Structure formats: C-alpha cells, structure tokens
Amino acid sequence: MQPLLKVEGLKKSFGGVAALRDGQFELEAGSVHALCGGNGAGKSTFLSILMGIHKRDGGTILHRGNPVEFGSPAEALRSGIAIIEQELSPVPHMTVAENIYLGREPSARFGGIDFKTMNRNAQALLDRLEFSISATQYMMNLSVAQMQLVEIAKALSHEADVIFMDEPTSAIGEKEAQHLFSAIERLKAEGKGIVYVSHRLSEIFQIADSYTVFRDGGFVGAGKLADIDRPGLIRMIVGRELGEEYIKTNTPTDISGLEVSGLSAPGKIEDISFTARKGEIFGIYGLMGSGRTEIFNCLFGMDNPSAGDIRIEGKSVTIRQPSDAMAEGIAFVTEDRKVTGLNLSDSVRNNICLASLPEMSPAFVMRRSQEQAASADMIDRFAIKAARDTMPVSGLSGGNQQKVVLGKWFLRQPRVLLLDEPTRGVDVGAKREIYRIICDFAAAGGTVVMISSEIDEILGMSDRILVMRAGRSAGIRNRQETDAQTLVHLST
C-alpha cells in the first residue's frame, strides 16, 4: 500500500547551523505514528517545514505519492495536512462554529454570513466525531481539552487526512487525555493518518501504532511499537543507556519539614492538611483544576488562604506575599516557566539572579562579580548548556530553561522546594538530570513537594502522594502501597 505521507532526506539549516540533517518519515493511512526525540532533535523544524512555515533546503515530501511543497500553513491545510499546535490560538469571543469556519464562512445574500448553514454544518461535524460540544458556544467558555477537539473538527472540516498533534496533552488532565485518545481512535478508524508528538512515553505506548525517532537533527530509527519496549525507545531517543528511569537516592527523615493543616481558600481549596518531612519528596497528584497549584499559591503568598496553619520545620509562619515565603526558605518552581518562571527578554545570568537581588546588593548597588559567580556556579552545578550566560534565556532549549529556573531558586539555598510540573515540556535526558537535582536536594535534608500530572513521574519520584479531587484531599498514599489505577481512581 502506498504510504499517506513519505518524507526523505529533509534538510534545513539556520544561519549555517543544521537543525535537520536527514529527516525521514513514513505515515500509513489509518494509523497513529509517534514522532519522538529530545528537545533539539529536529522535531519542531520537521513540523514547521511540513506545515509550510519554513522552506526546506533539500529532500522530498510525498503526499499520497505526489511531491508537494508548501509556501504557507494555509497551503498545507488546503492539500490536507493540518496541525493541532501545542499552544492553541482560538478567537475567544467567537462561537465554536465561527472558529471552525473562520475565513471560509458560507455566504448568505448581500454578502452576509449564512449563520444557519454554518452552525448546522459545524454541529453535524462535531456530532459525527462524538464531541459533546455545542457549535454555538463561545470559544472562551470551553476548556483547553475542548478547544483541542474543536481544532480537530476544524482540521477535518478542511478534509485533512494527515493531522499532526504537537504535545496535545501538555495542558490537559488525565481524564481529558483519555477523551482525546478515543477521538484519535475514531480518526484512525476513518482512515486518517495521525502524527503524535509527545515527551510522554506512556501515552505513546497507549495510543500509537508505530514510531520514528529523531536525534540531533537526524533520523535514528522507525518501527512498530509492538516490537519495542520502553527502555528500548528511551535508548533510541537519548542515544545512550540510561538505566533505571527514576533513581531515588533520598530517604525521608522523621523531622517535619513543611506542615500544613486545615488550609482553605474559598472556591479553590478546602481543608488541606499534610506534613512533608525533611528528606522526603512529597507528591501531589490531581487533575487540572483540582486545586493542586492553588495549594502552592497559598503556601507561597500568591493567594491568601482564609484559614489554615503553615509550619516550617516546626515553626509556625505567616505568609502574605512571596517575599515572606522566600524569607522562610521556600522556593517555588512554577508550572509554566515562560509565563511565571522566566523573564524571557533578559539574559541567563539575570534570570538566575532574579530572586536574589536584595542579597546581591546590600548597599543598593548590584555586586556584579557576585552575580557573575553565582550564575557561573549554577550553570556548572546543573550543567546548563548556554554559550554565554549573557545570552537571552529565550535562546535555550526547554530543559535548559527549566534548569535556569531551578538555578534561580537553588541560589537562595531553600529549605522547602515547591515544584509544579517540574519536567513539563522537557526531554527525557534533561528530565533525568532534573530528577537527580531534586533527589540530591532531598537527600541533603531538604523538603520537596512536587505536583505532577504524569502518573509515572509521581509514582517514580514521590515517597508519599496526596491526591486532590475538586479542591479537597482524596487521601494520602505511600508509594509502595499504591499504583496508577488507584491514583486515577481517587482523583476522579
């Protein structure tokens, strides 16, 4: 059978630096194909060439056997190749139908829009896909997961037969992800080809039929997922033996590090109590919107709890604003490094020093040598790959950016580390380094509280796990006594 999409020898350089040396790819109709690779492996470049955003330097792309070349995303879409991007860009104040048919609205008399036909068509499409979304709803009232489904419907309304999904589960919860997967199954049954890009290996094994691995801009290998196991795939992605994925080196002590009792914030969280001990990695698992992040916001003074008591190493503390929390030795690695973690317009060095400015300027004037030394120290300690520490932090890969955020907080020598999705959007190699950093911190007597949506990660890293459901605690489990099913069950 002729493949739906066949790519050979795709090349692309930016300013003399090869981002993609040899892109190879083959997609069968009616299958889900996982595109795997670390950050900087060339996946994004590959996608942007297929989408018509960048022009290729060499190579061929065959769509249903015909060579194609796209000058813009619109051209790619017209020929049947669609992408569901990682960061969706819907028009919030328009309805679902208006978003689906944006720029292609059926016209009525006098050049107006035939809303009736448009809504009917959109609803028919959504129903066919079994998405329980109303076509006349406003986009802004949908959840991120629903917006993704609308994007899928939009792609199908263009008669797309190749659909790329770039990290579609990075912003949605476990339950919604399962909905998405059943939608993908339906697309597969309709004979579409789906290219699934994700760092989450468990999803890949659940949903995909075959895989292609890129590394350092080149093709490494491809095959059926049935013929490879998880360690084998990891080995291909990172290019070396990594051994055990989660290596725990910490042992919890009996000393209380962070004690939270009866913490409540109206409409967000209710009566949350737990004690994380020194040397412990305490996990918090829950769906998006279950109140996970809200706990951290209260602990860090971003939000003011209405009730509750916080004790750090036995001492009761009052936290009204982030600087109070920082004075008590709390550090908070936020969920979205681009929105709340980094100043992207500034340098690596200034970002590392951002949370320590008063300490580095006792007499108002910045001590530049101290800044330089601190930044060099963190870059060295966390093996941050940056040409110079004065380069913009936006030029680093996701994993290295995350290490800059960690560096910013470790510079303060915290006692309690709050981590909200510390490895989101980070490749397998960098993930491991981040796990090592977290374990080392706990092993040295630090207290770690970590939120994660990735069930493998939370089970692999935590000593105990608190499960959140609808703003309340659904129980605390020891890692030895629990499993993925139990956590998912508790959280829903």
Residue 146 or 297 having the CB closest to another protein: 297
Residue 12 or 33 having the CB closest to another protein: 12
**Is 126:96 a contact under the CB 8 Å cutoff?**
yes
**Is 471:291 a contact under the CB 8 Å cutoff?**
yes
Asked if 322 is part of the footprint of another protein (rule: CB under 8 A), the reply reads yes
CA distance 342 to 336: 9
Residue 51 or 325 having the CB closest to another protein: 325
- The distance of closest approach from Cβ of residue 38 to another protein in the complex, given in angstroms and rounded to an integer, is 9
Where do runs of H (alpha helix) occur along 26-65? 43-50
Residue 150 or 434 having the CB closest to another protein: 434
CA distance 174 to 30: 25
- The distance of closest approach from Cβ of residue 383 to another protein in the complex, given in angstroms and rounded to an integer, is 11
Binding-site member from 23, 27, 32, 40 for another protein (CB under 8 A): 40
**Is 404:392 a contact under the CB 8 Å cutoff?**
no
Structure tokens at 284: 């918090």
For residues 21-32, one letter each, b for 16 or more C-beta atoms within 10 angstroms of the residue's C-beta and e for the rest, the string is bbbbbbbebbbb
Residue 409 or 435 having the CB closest to another protein: 409
Structure tokens at 98: 């208006």
Q: Which of the stretches 90-98, 230-238, 337-345, 460-468 binds another protein when contact is defined by CB under 8 A?
A: 337-345
Residue 16 one-letter amino acid: G
- The distance of closest approach from Cβ of residue 184 to another protein in the complex, given in angstroms and rounded to an integer, is 31
Asked if 358 is part of the footprint of another protein (rule: CB under 8 A), the reply reads yes
349, containing H or E segment: helix 348-353
**Is 285:458 a contact under the CB 8 Å cutoff?**
yes
**CA–CA distance from 427 to each of 18, 73, 424, 433, 441 (Å)?**
20, 26, 9, 10, 21
Binding-site member from 321, 373, 376, 380 for another protein (CB under 8 A): 321
Asked if 341 is part of the footprint of another protein (rule: CB under 8 A), the reply reads yes
Structure tokens at 115: 């809303």
Give the angle 329-401-484 at the CA atoms, nearest 5°: 75
Place of tokens 């060099």: 376
**Is 462:450 a contact under the CB 8 Å cutoff?**
yes
- The distance of closest approach from Cβ of residue 340 to another protein in the complex, given in angstroms and rounded to an integer, is 4
Residue 162 one-letter amino acid: V
- The distance of closest approach from Cβ of residue 122 to another protein in the complex, given in angstroms and rounded to an integer, is 35
Burial label for 324, CB within 10 Å (0-12, 13-18, 19+), is: middle
Binding-site member from 1, 2, 320, 364 for another protein (CB under 8 A): 364
Asked if 72 is part of the footprint of another protein (rule: CB under 8 A), the reply reads no
CA distance 50 to 63: 10
Binding-site member from 93, 112, 365, 480 for another protein (CB under 8 A): 365
Asked if 344 is part of the footprint of another protein (rule: CB under 8 A), the reply reads yes
Residue 179 or 215 having the CB closest to another protein: 215
Asked if 109 is part of the footprint of another protein (rule: CB under 8 A), the reply reads no
80: closest CA among 57, 103, 50, 119? 50
- The distance of closest approach from Cβ of residue 360 to another protein in the complex, given in angstroms and rounded to an integer, is 8
Asked if 361 is part of the footprint of another protein (rule: CB under 8 A), the reply reads yes
Binding-site member from 2, 316, 345, 369 for another protein (CB under 8 A): 345
478: closest CA among 253, 278, 271, 281? 281
- The distance of closest approach from Cβ of residue 429 to another protein in the complex, given in angstroms and rounded to an integer, is 10
- The distance of closest approach from Cβ of residue 149 to another protein in the complex, given in angstroms and rounded to an integer, is 28
Asked if 19 is part of the footprint of another protein (rule: CB under 8 A), the reply reads yes
- Letters for 378-397 (x = contact with another protein by CB under 8 A, - = none) are -------xxxx--x---xxx
Binding-site member from 340, 376, 413, 440 for another protein (CB under 8 A): 340
- The distance of closest approach from Cβ of residue 89 to another protein in the complex, given in angstroms and rounded to an integer, is 18
Residue 352 or 468 having the CB closest to another protein: 352
Residues that bind another protein (CB under 8 A): 14-17, 19, 39-40, 216, 300, 302, 321-323, 325-326, 332, 334, 339-346, 350, 353-355, 357-358, 360-361, 364-366, 368, 385-388, 391, 395-397, 400, 408
